[in-house]
Amino acid sequence: MSEDKKSFVMYRSWALMIRELSNEQAGDLIKAVCRYLDDPAAAPEDPTMTAVFAMIKAKLDEDADKYADKVRKRKEAAEKRWKDANAMQNDASASVCIGLHSDTDTVAVTDTDTVTGAVADTESPNGDIKHNRGAKRAVFVPPTVEEVEAYCVERNNRVNAEEFVDFYSSKGWMIGKNKMKDWRAAVRTWERSKRDNVVELTAAQRQAQERHEVLQRIMRGEQ
């Protein structure tokens, strides 16, 4: 069994069988189970316990396999989260070409900061070089459920923070084909959508009420 697994499940069905054994048989069986946790070759000394021990051992192996699979999936998920975060960081790096005042003289540089900005040099009529830098954009960092919830409480809206984070996490924090730039703006969009749905529902309820009143008047013989 895996050394990382520090415990095992004692099933009720086992307890019911062990109750029917003598103290010597029960002790022998339980000791064999405990030895098996560290020694795959362990077995009870009493041959009559072999069948019972084989059933318990099979269940222990099954539980150990499930545990190992769960550990593997958690490790893969953690590695994926790390790779996604690293990919977002790499997206922040960009190659920028600086155009000099000469038509043929250019220098290529790589911007590895956490923000990006276009840089261009132009020559003024008097021969001075003017440096123009584009606006810098901050790297997008996905919010936590707590951050979204705090923002929703601040705006007093009906947006479910956990639903919001789960939805965009499943899409890689993409809006259509583009990376999300401002999660707060996305929350406000959800907020407007929720509000519109409430308005539409209220209108539908009002129409249903009006139809009900008309039907009641017809049944009463009123025009």
Q: Are residues 74 and 112 in the same domain?
A: no
Q: Are residues 119 and 159 in the same domain?
A: no
Report the predicted TM-score, pTM, of the whole model to 2 decimal places.
0.37
Q: Is residue 21 part of a domain?
A: yes
Does pLDDT of 174 surpass 90? Answer: yes
Q: Are residues 210 and 167 in the same domain?
A: yes
Highest mean pLDDT among 7-11, 22-26, 74-78, 118-122 belongs to: 22-26
Q: Are residues 79 and 100 in the same domain?
A: no
Domain count, the chain: 3
Of the candidates 199, 200, 142, which has an alpha carbon nearest to the alpha carbon of residue 175? 142
Which tens digits make up the pLDDT trace of 175-200?
989 999 999 999 999 988 877 766 55
CB 159 within 8 A of CB 194: yes
pLDDT of residue 166: 94
Residues contacting 159, CB < 8 A, separation 6+: 148, 152, 187, 190, 191, 194
Q: Are residues 84 and 104 in the same domain?
A: no
Does pLDDT of 159 surpass 80? Answer: yes
Q: What are the distances in angstroms from CA 97 to CA 105, 118, 135?
A: 11, 8, 16
Q: Is residue 140 part of a domain?
A: no
The domain in which residue 205 lies consists of: 145-219
Q: Is residue 46 part of a domain?
A: yes
